[in-house]
Amino acid sequence: MTRITLIAAVAAIALAAGGWWYFAQLSAWPENSVPARNDIKGAEPDPRYYAMDVSQDGNRMLVTNTALGFQFSVPGIWRIGDNRLGYGTFQMFNYEEAAATGSKWDAGENKIEMALIDDPATFASGSMTPVKIAGEDAFRTEGEFKNYVSYIVPLKAAPGKFITMTIYGDPKNYTLLDSVVATLSIK
């Protein structure tokens, strides 16, 4: 019995170590971790990932992406949550992320999120109102429960692609997104 117990213990340890090694290798595979290639000078663009160039100019934050051909500014000082567009979303917060619950927003707290999409109809959950943004035919949509406002804008530099700009949080500040969209330039 002792010999069988010892063999079983060694097999269990080997299995656990092998599983740990396998999952460690799996998480390092390229399709599961996308390198930040668009922010490296001379690197080939990775179509899944577009890093945003963010700078603070006094009381305004300037956000640019030359590969996709757009730029906009946001009033105030915002914290960047995620700087990936295309393989994730670009996120800005005007509050500390640790204080956020994701379902309840305190007065004055908002998040602006940006995504890269192929089809506006699959993004919008409600009706889409046609608008002009940066000289382009775009759309405005609101969440069914008035829990967000979004703009959907086509990109000249990436035909068939659109950016979305969505604001969540305190609905009293939703007009802030209108002011951000007003600064959007598309090249």
93-102 confidence digits (pLDDT tens)? 888 765 655 6
Residues contacting residue 12 through CB under 8 Å, at least 6 positions apart: none
Task: Out of 25-29, 63-67, 100-104, give the one with best mean pLDDT.
Answer: 63-67
* pTM for this predicted structure: 0.71
What is the rounded average pLDDT for all residues in the chain? 78
CATH topology of domain 50-186: Protein Transport Mog1p; Chain A (3.40.1000)
pLDDT tens by residue, 155-176? 999 899 999 999 998 999 999 9
More confident residue, 45 or 39: 45
Mean pLDDT calculated for residue range 97-124? 81
Per-residue confidence (pLDDT) for residue 51, from 0 to 100: 79
**Cβ(166)–Cβ(152) below 8 Å:** no
Q: Whole-angstrom Cα distance, residue 91 to residue 137?
A: 24
Per-residue model confidence as pLDDT tens digits over 78-88: 888 877 776 66
112-116 mean pLDDT: 91
pLDDT by residue (tens digit) across 130-145?
A: 999 999 999 999 887 7
Closest to 148 (Cα-Cα) out of 132, 124, 179: 124
Over pLDDT 90: what percentage of the chain? Answer: 33
Residue 152 has a pLDDT of 96
Round to whole Å and give the CA distance between 174 and 142: 10
* Residue ranges covered by each domain of the chain: 2-32, 50-186
Q: Is the pLDDT of residue 15 over 60?
A: yes
Both tokens assigned to 130: 């046609």
